[in-house]
Amino acid sequence: MKSPLRFKQKTVVARTCPKRVAVISVDFNDQDIAFFCLQLYLNDVSLDFPIDSKQACSAISKILDTNVPLSAIEDLLQKFAAQQLIELVNDEH
């Protein structure tokens, strides 16, 4: 199955501290990049929980400067939940 994500470039910029920036140019596949960015997003100490998948998708799309499908983010969140890294709550009002 082809990944629904299509990124303009394969360069990841990781900020390790305010004065250090590592630019990694590696041939990641699209899902690896989204996975990495979602992990960084969820580990942001300024993030107010709980969040919903639409908020996460919007943030990841903004970070990557491309339209990331909601289904791709929801799939990754399900994988995190399966590993008991996060807890998902179905909040349908």
Q: What is the pLDDT of residue 9?
A: 44
Query: For residue range 20-77, what is the model confidence (pLDDT) as tens digits?
Result: 555 545 455 677 788 888 998 998 888 888 889 999 999 988 888 888 889 989 999 9
- Of 83 and 30, more confident: 83
Pairing of strands 20-25, 11-17: antiparallel
Residue 48 lies in a domain: yes
Query: How many Cβ atoms from other residues are within 10 Å of residue 30's Cβ?
Result: 18
Q: Is residue 36 part of a domain?
A: yes
Q: pLDDT value at position 74?
A: 92
- Does residue 89 fall inside a structural domain? no
Of 91 and 32, more confident: 32
For the chain, what is the domain count? 1
Q: Which domain holds residue 46?
A: 28-82
